[in-house]
Structure 1
Amino acid sequence: MNRKYFLYTSSEFNSVRTCREVGRLLKIPFLTGILLLSQLGFYSNELIILHKETEVNRVNRSDFTHPSPEIPTIHVEKYLEFLELMDKEMYQAPKNAYIDKSGHIIPGVAGHKLYREKFSDRFLRYYYGNGPSKLEVPLQPIHPKVDEELLAEIRVHKIGQFVSSFNSYNKNRTNNISLAAEALNNHVLFPQETFSFNKIVGKRTAARGYMKAKVIVRGEFSEGIGGGICQVSSTLFNAVDQAGLKIVERYCHTRQVPYVPFGRDATVSWNGPDFKFQNNINQPILILAKVVGGRVIINIFSAEGVNVSYK
């Protein structure tokens, strides 16, 4: 059987490749590669790339063509760079289902990403074809990790709870506590996953709405952005500990705090101490956190049948 060869160029070397090898490089089926490479017509006509009939990009064959003495060839590296760009442009993250303030489950929303293999197949049909063309971007759905059915199953059985109080007249501290509790609320932790307070709550900055309030630094009180969030991490620790979940990392303050019993606190700081725990049961857990008046209320839920030895 005669093999069809063509030259492709990278930034490092020129190489003669078979249709099969090029198909592997671009992740397209072998037979499609043969079909495309048998049509060596090159025109400087544009490809209009559409998403839901709206133009998202426009390219030309010449953007991806490296001329050679004998035949024009596709520049594989340039095409792969373009593919990465399209990946970023078309990616839309899914949104998990969640429980609203009224206790209703709000359905999740599927996201999507570029279907790379189908896109490459259609792009190369254009590239090795004749004249201009249009391409509707093929997408693959990305389903939410947490859907309605899962939430309905794991919201029924409370396995841990803790409530702490604070002075709601301190507006800055109340603001910080509310932001941190909101970040925790509706978080679902799957079996064997490890929860990091710093990762989930994120960096405490003024740009994210955090304000200056009292913090403890080296045993002394001072003002700092995000003051008050340690009350949220400490409340979470006590709820998690009551549920019998595995504590992975916890540090106490260098002096006693008024909102939890002595030795029952969990200090946190960005790029410093963190509070971590692992879901060591065989079902996902749901964290529901809220601020009501001058109280931080954190509940831990899971599915029916989960046995907890309350502390």
Structure 2
Amino acid sequence: MILSWIFGGMLLAQQVNAPISLLITKDGQPVSHINQLDFTNPYIDLPIVNMKKYNQFLDQLDKQFSIAPENAFLDQHGSIHSEKVGYQINRQAFTEQVYTYFFNHSPTRLEIPISTIYPKVDSELLESIGRMRIGRYVTSFNPHNKNRSTNIQLAAEAINNYVIFPGETFSFNRVVGKRTVTRGYQRATVIVRGEYSEDVGGGICQVSSTLFNAVDNAGLQIVERFSHTRKVPYIPPGRDATVSWYGPDFQFKNKYNQPVLIRARTLGNLLIIKLYSSEGMNYIPKKIPNPPY
């Protein structure tokens, strides 16, 4: 039987007697197998590779065998924990071999090609940018309000050890992610259209507001900031930064020529956010109002 195949925009014809299975291996051990019919429709005269099915197959392999890299980080005592490299399936190399199999029935065995993925932040970088404090702000909260305290702690952990490279824009919503119950966030008081209400993640605006003041103190460029529709008790009037997953975001840009490191933590009833960079960096600090007591 003669079949024509379209793959990657190319049309090829070949003699097909019977589908031959391609064995997929990892470290020499079988993990899966495929054949042409897995990704094509045999009942039409011009079978076309179904790229959606093929990419789903690659996604499954990725979930099974890829390992995300881990950035180096500083613990609460200031000790540096080393980075970890990650590994990812080389999709281009894999596809090239599958392409050869589809049209030549060769090879019959494919060892998954793996690429090394290096973390964005390594120990050497942390060592160089964790020395000079360029911005700081501290606010207080009621630790007896367990739900709100939990939300503050989770959001602080999400931005802690985050590095903003020169020219990069930091988005609070993107870095912290969606606030959901499955991620540990609790229902607490929020302000919606000037009225008090309750929602999952209530209280994280204190983290974004404290971060805004630390960022402003460091003289970084504010890209996007919105205030609440009514006064909040933990920050001076007009110095807050409200955030919502489907609404306002707080964003700032690193206009300096060195990376900036965020250090955020809770200590008792205090939320402490500090910004660091390399010694000798030419930055322009800004005087900002003290938090209310």
TM-score bracket for this pair, using the shorter chain length: 0.7 to 0.9
Query: More displaced, 83-92 or 247-256?
Result: 83-92
Max Rg structure: 1
Instruction: Name the SS of the counterpart of 1:235 in structure 2.
Output: helix
1:50 lines up with 2:25 in the alignment:
yes
1:115–1:139 CA contact under 8 A, matched in 2: yes
1:99 maps to which residue?
A: 74
Whole-Å separation in 2 of the counterparts to 1:89 and 1:16: 27
Q: 1:53 to 1:255 in 2, by over 3 A?
A: same
Matched, 1:175 2:147: no
What secondary structure is seen at the aligned counterpart in 2 of 1:244? coil
TM-superposed deviation, 1:309: 2.5
Q: Deviations over 1:4-42 (max 9, x none)?
A: xx973349x99557xxxxxxxxxxxxxxxxxxx9xx786
Q: 1:52 to 1:280 in 2, by over 3 A?
A: same
The residue number in structure 2 matching 1:33 is none
TM-score by length of 1: 0.78
Which residue among 173, 196, 203 is the counterpart of 2:178? 203
SS of residue in 2 equivalent to 1:296:
strand
The number of equivalent residue pairs is 279
Shift of 1:263: 1.7
**Which residue matches 1:296?**
271
Report the counterpart of residue 230 of structure 2 in structure 1: 255
Give me the whole-angstrom Cα distance separating, in 1, the residues matched to 2:193 and 2:148. 20
Matched, 1:186 2:161: yes
Deviates more, 1:292-301 or 1:203-212: 203-212
SS of 2:67's partner is coil
Aligned pair 1:77/2:56, yes or no? Answer: no
2:175 counterpart SS class? helix
Written as runs of structure 1 = structure 2, the 5 A alignment for 1:20-35 is none
Alignment correspondent of 1:8: 4
Counterpart in 2 of 1:241?
216
Distance 1:220 1:214 in 2: 10
- With the length of structure 2 as denominator, give the TM-score of the two structures: 0.83
How far, CA to CA, are the matches of 1:122 and 1:271 in structure 2?
Answer: 43
Pick closer, same or farther for the CA change 1:87–1:216 going to 2, 3 Å.
closer
User: Is 2:27 aligned against 1:89?
Assistant: no
Q: Distance in 2 between matches of 1:170 and 1:14?
A: 63
Alignment identity in percent?
49
Aligned-partner Cα distance in 2 for 1:231–1:83: 42
Q: Distance in 2 between matches of 1:80 and 1:270?
A: 30
